[in-house]
Amino acid sequence: MNDDEAHASGTPGPHGELFLRTLAMPADTNPSGDIFGGWLMSQMDMAGSMLVRELTHGRVVTVAVDTFKFQKPVKVGDAVGCYGRVIRIGTTSVTVKLEVWVRPPTLTGEPQKPGFQVTEAIFTYVAVDEAGKKRPVPDSARAAE
């Protein structure tokens, strides 16, 4: 069952492939004790750039972030997973949908709680050459789409 079939059948879980996993730490908190939204955005940008860099076989830059939705706060100690999937490939750009899912820590030996989604956004990246000029996305990327 692929991601779209799982979601259509009501099975919870992330769309896409896991591209980054990290731990939310105390240094990343706001005055209320929750993880800064900006820290979460940077993790998503790193995950998305890894996905697109692999696809385009080279350097990419972030050019847009759309429809960012924060659904729940991230807490210190949460395992943070950034999942991504390509939704559009243009001549020089690739647009991906990124989701962040977290798992709260289990310190008591009890079974791991299921993860839940905390945010999602659409990121657009442009492939660039060594001089920073736009370059075409390779045909092999379109074949993988």
- The CATH number of residue 79's host domain is 3.10.129.10
- Percent of the chain exceeding pLDDT 90 equals 74
Spell out a b/e string for 94-119, using b for 16 or more CB atoms within 10 Å of the CB, else e. bbbbbbbbbbeeeeeeeeeeebebbb
pLDDT at position 1, please? 37
Asked if 136 and 60 count as a contact pair (C-beta separation under 8 A), the reply is no
Q: What is the pTM of this model?
A: 0.86
Number of structural domains in the chain: 1
For residue 84, give its domain range: 3-144
Q: So what's the pLDDT on residue 66?
A: 93
Q: Residue 144 pLDDT more than 70?
A: no
Which pair of structure tokens corresponds to residue 29? 């908190």
